[in-house]
Copies of this chain bind each other. A is one copy, B any other.
Amino acid sequence: MPSRFVIGVDIGGTKLAAGVVDERLQIHRRIQRSMRGQDTPALLDTIASAVQELVNTTPGEIDAVGFGIPSLIDRRTGTSVVAVNLPLTDVRFGALMAERLDLAVFVDNDGNLAALAEHRAGAGVGVEHMLLIGLGTGIAGGLILGGELYRGWLGAGAELGHMVIDLNGPRCQGNCPNHGCFEAMASGTALAREARRIASERPDTELGRALVDGRELEGPLVTELAHDGDPAALAVLELIGERLGVALANYVNIFNPELIVVGGGVMRAGEMLLAPARAEMLRRALPPSRDVVRVVAAEFGHEAGMVGAAALALDGLAARQAQR
């Protein structure tokens, strides 16, 4: 039996998922809570009570909790600086959780924690230099450099979705003031936009008919139609894949990584997205980096955040013990 348990909490835009996780990053119990429409105090109550419920109902001792929040974090103060979908902007999230819970508390953003999960127990085990790109409604990013999470000066680095690849491109979303970011060009949101455009240009395809029928042209439907060979749906994935490839080329040149792990909901399209992305990366990046990097799908799906949050808590406990 593993001797130590921690709790990992993944806080999404509308719900949280929390789990009891052992030292080998196996999940033992899971709960979910809706946070839809809650203001800041209600949100903090929901989160704390979910954690407390897991503590109360788990036989054995729980030492720490890790939180993944969809936010930029200033590690000088533990403040959530910018949160796109939740009322957490300028909230000292870690301190407020520590006041409510009798546990060691660790906080990081969702992209960093997805990278940590893949590095400790997924596609990146044993890798020194890897990037995690999470293609969802937005684009999450995480960097493992020299075997450790790289967070930058204040902890706000690794915003890998907010790299301009088209300086005259479309306005980015949420609190990002930029234009032509990788996120504005190749996220699930961008995929849906391009799907609507291509569908309207090609009314004689399945994708075109789906538009006429008023269906939502988002990642799942586009992926399904592409699987069935619809040329318009395939063209959408190829376009988004090529733009992903431009971003990969940039990151290959900047980091010379061993591995790039691509996850997130949009990756249900799998090789239909990764194959054109790799081809575009090879057309644009420099040797020798382009010839040695591996670009693979993430191994963790929707539980990456929970596992990464647990890994963060385990790392945090180990660091505290080493200091004693």
Please give the residue numbers on chain A whose beta carbons come within 8 Å of chain B beta carbons, in ascending order: 72, 74, 81-82, 128-129, 141, 145-146, 150-160, 162-168, 175-179, 243, 246, 249-250, 253-258, 283-289, 292
Q: Are B72 and A154 closer than 8 Å at their CB atoms?
A: no
Q: Are B163 and A254 closer than 8 Å at their CB atoms?
A: yes
Q: Are B153 and A82 closer than 8 Å at their CB atoms?
A: no
A178 CB, nearest partner CB in chain B, Å: 4
Q: Is the interface of A mostly helix, strand, loop or mixed?
A: loop
Q: Are B286 and A159 closer than 8 Å at their CB atoms?
A: yes
Q: Are A287 and B249 closer than 8 Å at their CB atoms?
A: no
The answer to whether A150 and B157 touch (CB under 8 A), given A81-B287, A250-B163, A250-B164, is no
User: How many copies of the polypeptide does the oligomer hold?
Assistant: 2
- The contact sample of 5 A-B pairs, CB cut-off 8 A, is A151-B256, A152-B289, A159-B289, A164-B249, A167-B243
Give the docked Cα–Cα distance between A150 and B179 (Å): 29
Q: Are B289 and A157 closer than 8 Å at their CB atoms?
A: yes
Among A153, A157, A168, find the residue whose CB has the most chain B CB atoms closer than 10 A.
A153
Contact pick for A284, options B153, B164, B258, B286, CB 8 Å: B164
Chain B residues with CB under 8 Å of A250's CB are 162-164
Q: Are A145 and B156 closer than 8 Å at their CB atoms?
A: no
The answer to whether A178 and B285 touch (CB under 8 A), given A157-B254, A253-B162, is yes
Chain B residues with CB under 8 Å of A287's CB are 72, 81-82, 156
Contact pick for A256, options B154, B178, B243, CB 8 Å: B154
The answer to whether A167 and B246 touch (CB under 8 A), given A157-B254, A256-B154, is yes
Give the docked Cα–Cα distance between A288 and B83 (Å): 12
Among A146, A159, A243, A288, find the residue whose CB has the most chain B CB atoms closer than 10 A.
A288
Contact pick for A162, options B179, B258, B283, B286, CB 8 Å: B286
Q: Are B254 and A156 closer than 8 Å at their CB atoms?
A: no
Which 4 pairs of residues, A with B, have the shortest CB-CB distance?
A152-B256, A157-B256, A159-B253, A162-B253
Contact pick for A168, options B166, B177, B255, B292, CB 8 Å: B166
